Amino acid sequence: MKIARETLQFIFEVCKSSAPREFAGMLSANGDVITEVIVVPGTESSDESAVMQLFMLPNIHTVGSVHSHPSGNTRPSDADLELFGRKGLVHIIVGAPYDRNSWTCYDKDGNPIKLEVVEYKFKDEDDLL
């Protein structure tokens, strides 16, 4: 699994603008590249409720989840771990200050995994040419 650089950048920005509240979303992929974030509306400030809402979404096709930890600690909570196991393969936690050095990706068992950041050509860009 990989993630498009622009998508990751978008994630950092929404995490930053949501702070000090927590941001949560689901990840959607094109092939093996994560290209889209489905934002969960009305995310509450507490970690547990944000992630809970995430997993109560209708069964849209997603490959994993992303949420922020304004504390800066990117370790999954017990509630996070329980939910990671339920849905999706990759789960990103972004901690403050929400940059390329402050995020960790986990598998469904909560083990840290490497998520390669790739350049991805979005369809919209083609249309503009």
Among 3, 54, 80, 92, binds Zn ion (CB under 5 A): 80
> Which residues on neighbouring strands pair with residue 7, listed in sequence order?
none
Among 3, 29, 34, 47, binds Zn ion (CB under 5 A): 47
Tokens matching residue 64:
């994993």
> Which residues on neighbouring strands pair with residue 37, listed in sequence order?
27
Residues with catalytic annotation?
Answer: 22
Q: According to the binding rule CB under 5 A, does residue 24 interact with Zn ion?
A: no
Tokens matching residue 128:
């503009």
Amino acid (1-letter code) at residue 102? S
Q: According to the binding rule CB under 5 A, does residue 66 interact with Zn ion?
A: no
Q: According to the binding rule CB under 5 A, does residue 18 interact with Zn ion?
A: no
Q: Which is nearer to Zn ion, 7 or 70 (CB)?
A: 70
Q: According to the binding rule CB under 5 A, does residue 70 interact with Zn ion?
A: no
Using an 8 Å Cβ cutoff, are 22 and 70 in contact? yes
DSSP 8-state class, residue 102 = S
Which residues are near Zn ion by CB under 5 A?
A: 47, 77, 80
